[in-house]
Amino acid sequence: MNRLTILVLTVLMMFCSHSKGQTLFGQVTWECTLKRKSPEEGEIRMKARIAPGWHMYALGNSPLSPIKMNFKFEPDRSYQLVGNVSQPSPLLKSDKLLGMPVTYFENEVEFGQKIRLKGKNGTIRGTIQFMQCSDQVCVPPQDFGFSLKIFN
């Protein structure tokens, strides 16, 4: 990616409530948006598109497993998290290598985080940590950072 492309993407992320990108290994692409439900309520939507032949692990797998999936949101005076990140019902399988059941997603999945808007302007910054595997290989956990602008 050249400097001009990076500058354009940075400017776009500063002036819209939408963030999109691909991670280093490219099997999962993320698109994050802020949907306003009312002047005081909103929802951060984080959609992952997963390449054919790959899967991404869900929230809530055993803390004893090496599988990572979590969402971190940087505190900001303009918003407050309401509840936890939601996800649809994941697929379930018994993983022979780990010796335990695991939950995961294929193709596409959308996570949501409800927020209370406390200011007229601000920025929601966060990081999604996730792990992806195919039938032959697993990629170490990766981080995808996003930034969503809150407007009046």
Confidence of residue 131 (pLDDT cuts 50, 70, 90): very high
What residue type is assigned to position 137 of the chain?
A: V
Confidence of residue 91 (pLDDT cuts 50, 70, 90): very high
Please tell me which residue, 99 or 76, carries the higher pLDDT value. 76
Evaluate whether 27 touches 11 at the Cβ level (below 8 Å).
Answer: no
Q: Which residues pair with 150 in a beta bridge?
A: 122
Rounded Cα distance, 95 and 93, in Å? 6
Read off the DSSP letter of residue 136: S
Top-tier CATH class for 27-150 = mainly beta
Does position 6 have pLDDT exceeding 50, yes or no? no
Confidence of residue 124 (pLDDT cuts 50, 70, 90): very high
- Residue-wise pLDDT for 19-32, tens only, equals 444 444 568 999 99
For the whole model, what pTM was predicted?
0.81
Does position 152 have pLDDT exceeding 80, yes or no? no
Does position 85 have pLDDT exceeding 80, yes or no? yes
So what's the pLDDT on residue 128?
Answer: 96
Provide the residue ranges of all domains of the chain, joining segments of one domain with +. 27-150
